[in-house]
Amino acid sequence: MRKNPRSSQRSPVGCKASRRDAFGLLAGGGLAALTAGSAQAQPRPPNIVMIYADDLGWADVGFNGRKEWDTPNLDRLASQGTRFTRWYTGAVVCAPSRGCLLSGKYTIHNGVFTNGDDLAKSEVLIPAALKRHGYATSLVGKWHRGTLPDGGFTHPIDRGFDETFGFLDAQHAWEHFPKYLWRGKEKETVSRYTADMFSDEGIKFINKNKSRPFFLYLAYIESHYYIEAPDEDVKLYAGKFEEKDPAHPVNARYAAMIHRMDTGIGRVLKAIDDAGLADNTIVVFASDQGATFEKGNQGSSNFHDSNRPFRGQKRSLEEGGIRVPGLVRWPGKVPAGRVSHDVIHMTDLLPTFVAAAGGKVEPAWKVDGVNVLDSLTGKSSPPERTLFWEWTNEGGRMYAAMRGDFKLLDISGSQFLYNVAKDPGERRTILQEYPEIHKRLAAELTAWKATSVKR
């Protein structure tokens, strides 16, 4: 049975009452917040493993209530660390969401508005920022390059990654049984399931860099279509779900894809533990955006109601598009078994990782995210601020501004105001009840839009 949107704090989406009026402070926070690193100096900075899923819905994982299939390794990760109920991605399609993560900047400031855009060479990305602190860096999985204004593109090797293995562009990044992948700048023939290969490569990188700090960006392509998985995993779920065509059990395959990714993640976590690195390794798990109901998904996310209890999907700024699963493990630093309702944005990870490494974000980088290390470790909540999103491509025209529990959603000029703590399904607009909040968020959104870089 679906949980009541007004469920208690113990619900996966429940949010505790605000500790103070979310509109008591001005938006922003300035560069002082970005440069005030909260990590204490230590002989060796922590390793950082960023695990990124693709089109994985809020309700596709056991720790957010999924019962129809198993994600035991992610559930164990949640028990060993902190689960964040309000973790937000920076954008709602693949390249922009990755651009926000890697640059620490909104789409309108890093220039990646669409899947066809690429990050400008002037942008300082997470791997380059961490290399300044002696980190070995690796990208395993999906890069999703776009095109620069001059017609070229940037390779991850040229953006701070020491080594890479996986997909470079979007053209094949939905193939779970690809014929080739890229190792650095060389094409390599392959024949196995991507989640298995990516997990293996991540483990190799971890074992190779035991003696130095490392950053592993492990970008799986589950549960992005194609909807396909190894036969042994599909057999685990065959017959458990209604199928439009039993000869092509896409609903079973969808479950099998996530199960296989979870198995790979478990092997990566075991490698960290076996190497004796767990206590000094930050592991973050999230998704690039919510699940999709597009044609290529073949109705599987729709059947499984992957974004429940939210409305919306990929390519939508409703909660189903932007609120994603979020976990952080760092034994002894991040509280185990804790559930946090702090609002975390994907742009926060660059300044947070740099702070954990003992560094500071440089003002010239002009990042939008803030250092939330104290939130991850349970010491304090992030500063009060207004967060923003835009999706103005492929026929869409949506903007959103959120401060605390209040979210303004603008769809083609029509505006709606929601309290996403009390109404996570965004069913009841309260715009007329809170005219001052509406006025403030609308003004902030207008001002934010005016800061956009040229397309």
151 half-sphere exposure, CB direction, 13 A CA radius: 0
SS3 281: strand
Give me the numbers of helices (H) and strands (E) for the chain, helices first please: 13, 15
Over residues 170-183, the mean pLDDT reads: 90
Q: Which residues, 6+ apart, have CB-to-CB distance to 31 below 8 Å?
A: 361, 363
390 neighbors 373 (Cβ within 8 angstroms): no
Neighbouring C-beta atoms of residue 51, cutoff 10 Å: 25
d(CA 409, CA 405): 13
Tell me the pLDDT band of 40, cut-offs 50, 70 and 90.
very low
Of 174, 111, 90, 168, give the one whose Cα is nearest residue 453.
111
Q: Are strands 163-167 and 136-142 parallel, antiparallel or unpaired?
A: parallel
pLDDT digits (tens, 9 = 90+) for 247-266: 999 999 999 999 999 999 99
pLDDT computed for residue 395 by the predictor: 79
Asked: is 397-455 a CATH 3.40.50.1220 domain? The reply is no
For residues 4-19, average pLDDT: 39
Q: Among 26-40, 79-93, 117-131, which is the least confidently predicted range?
A: 26-40
Q: What is the mean pLDDT of residues 254-282?
A: 98
E strand or H helix that includes residue 72:
helix 72-80
Provide mean pLDDT across the span 283-288. 97
Backbone angles phi, psi at 157, to 5 degrees: -65, -30
Q: Helix axis angle, 194-208 relative to 250-274, nearest 10°? A: 10
DSSP labels, 197-265? HHHHHHHHHHHHTTTS-EEEEEE--TTSSS----HHHHHHHTTSS--SSTTS-HHHHHHHHHHHHHHHH
- Residue 385 vs residue 151, higher pLDDT: 385
Mean pLDDT of the chain: 90
Query: What integer is the mean pLDDT of 348-365?
Result: 97
pLDDT score at 147? 67
User: 289 pLDDT exceeds 80?
Assistant: yes
Q: Of 409, 414, 401, 383, give the one whose Cα is nearest residue 441.
A: 401
Cα 390 from chain centroid?
A: 16
pLDDT at 187 over 50: yes
Using the predicted structure, report yes or no on whether residue 152 has a pLDDT greater than 80.
no
User: Residue 388's pLDDT is what?
Assistant: 98
CB within 8 A of 392, min separation 6: which ones? 113, 398, 399
Q: Which residue has the higher pLDDT, 173 or 238?
A: 238
The whole-number average pLDDT for the span 107-113 is 95
- In the chain, the percentage of residues whose pLDDT exceeds 90 is 82
Superfamily of domain 30-385: Alkaline Phosphatase, subunit A (3.40.720.10)
Q: Where are the domains of the chain?
A: 30-385, 397-455
Residue that wins the pLDDT comparison between 137 and 13 = 137
State the average pLDDT over residues 177-194.
95
Query: Do residues 241 and 164 make contact, with C-beta atoms less than 8 angstroms apart?
Result: no
Mean pLDDT of 330-338: 97
What is the distance in angstroms between the CA of the first residue and the CA of the last residue of the chain? 45
Enter the pTM of the model: 0.90
The number of beta carbons lying within 10 Å of the beta carbon of residue 316 is 24
120 contacts: CB under 8 Å, gap ≥ 6 = 110, 111, 148
Extract long-range pairs of 189-198: CB within 8 Å, 24+ residues apart.
Answer: 193/229, 193/230, 193/260, 194/141, 194/166, 194/220, 194/221, 195/220, 195/221, 195/222, 195/257, 195/260, 195/261, 195/263, 195/264, 196/260, 196/264, 197/165, 198/140, 198/141, 198/165, 198/166, 198/264
- 429 Cβ neighbours under 8 A, 6+ residues apart: 416, 417, 418
**Which pLDDT score, from 0 to 100, does residue 337 have?**
96
Higher pLDDT, 169 or 307: 307
